[in-house]
């Protein structure tokens, strides 16, 4: 049973994770380490399931806030919906593949990808500043299928940085600006979170007395984060995206160096 101080701390970190995730994704970089550190006696699958409740609640809240605030920017719903459905299915496949593959082999590849993402975003000063979708028709749809399959499998198999990877993909591949990309990324991320959470609930790996208060705090943080992003605009989100991706690079770089 957690000590009385643990739950308030977890709620604080859930709020902070939601705040970051609501703007550019990457809240898991804060929330998951906090859960692992503060619940050392809890099995890892139960920690993941408990955190997934908070993540899903927060991501859903920030997605709604983005969709309300982006009334002037039409979301390409057919592409986003297809990517979300495919991502949800492949997230389940990724979760099942965990037992048969070594996740440590993925870390150097993800690290290299994050470095390239950060370098490209820093170099292209106009990256994500304009909303100018460049794909149409079947090409756009099949790109959405490919994105959903790749990111969904990654999220189920490994997970960290999924929101940031989706954000970069919607800007780089589809030509969205950072705000429209954030909204689209969150819709897809909801699908992968639902798939993962369904698995954890079905196997009884959720501590609801911890998950529900954390979910409420994550929703507060995510809503505030989305509101700040919408108010401050694409340039603010771009800078914060670079900060969060740099955090992932440092974290994964440390793990790879230690390994």
Average pLDDT across the chain, whole number? 84
- For tokens 């990309």, what's the residue? 181
> Is the pTM higher than 0.75?
yes
Pull the structure tokens for residue 99: 């037992």
Pull the structure tokens for residue 31: 């929330």
User: Residue 114 to residues 24, 159, 213, 246, 253: CA-CA distances in angstroms?
Assistant: 14, 13, 32, 8, 10
In sequence order, what are the residues at sequence separation of 6 or more whose Cβ sits closer than 8 angstroms to the Cβ of residue 97? Answer: 153, 156, 157
pLDDT by residue (tens digit) across 125-179?
A: 666 666 778 878 899 999 999 999 999 998 877 776 788 889 889 998 998 888 8
Q: Kindly indicate the confidence band of residue 103, based on its pLDDT and cuts at 50, 70 and 90.
A: low
What's the CA gap between 184 and 181, in Å, rounded?
5
Q: Kindly indicate the confidence band of residue 98, based on its pLDDT and cuts at 50, 70 and 90.
A: low
User: Quick one: which of 238, 105, 251, 97 has its CA closest to 172?
Assistant: 238
Q: What percent of the chain has pLDDT over 70?
A: 90
Pull the structure tokens for residue 197: 């959470």
Sequence ranges of the domains in the chain: 6-258
What's the CA gap between 77 and 26, in Å, rounded?
23
């Amino acid at each position: 049973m957690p000590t009385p101080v643990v739950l308030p701390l977890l709620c604080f970190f859930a709020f902070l994770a939601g705040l970051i995730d609501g703007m550019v994704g990457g809240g898991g970089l804060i929330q998951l380490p906090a859960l692992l550190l503060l619940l050392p006696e809890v099995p890892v699958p139960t920690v993941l399931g408990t955190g997934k409740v908070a993540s899903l609640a927060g991501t859903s809240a920030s997605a709604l806030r983005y969709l309300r605030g982006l009334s002037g920017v039409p979301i390409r719903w057919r592409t986003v919906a297809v990517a979300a459905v495919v991502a949800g299915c492949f997230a389940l496949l990724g979760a099942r593949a965990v037992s048969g593959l070594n996740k440590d082999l993925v870390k150097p590849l993800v690290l290299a990808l994050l470095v390239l993402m950060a370098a490209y975003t820093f170099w292209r000063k106009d990256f994500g500043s304009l909303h100018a979708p460049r794909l149409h028709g079947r090409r756009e749809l099949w790109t959405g299928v490919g994105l959903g399959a790749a990111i969904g499998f990654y999220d189920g198999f490994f997970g960290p940085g999924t929101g940031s990877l989706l954000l970069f993909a919607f800007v780089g591949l589809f030509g969205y600006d950072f705000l429209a990309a954030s909204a689209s990324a969150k819709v897809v991320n909801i699908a992968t979170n639902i798939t993962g959470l369904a698995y954890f609930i079905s196997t009884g790996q959720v501590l609801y007395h911890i998950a529900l208060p954390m979910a409420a705090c994550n929703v507060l943080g995510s809503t505030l984060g989305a509101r700040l992003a919408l108010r401050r605009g694409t340039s603010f989100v771009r800078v914060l995206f670079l900060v969060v991706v740099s955090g992932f690079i440092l974290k994964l770089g440390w793990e790879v160096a230690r390994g």
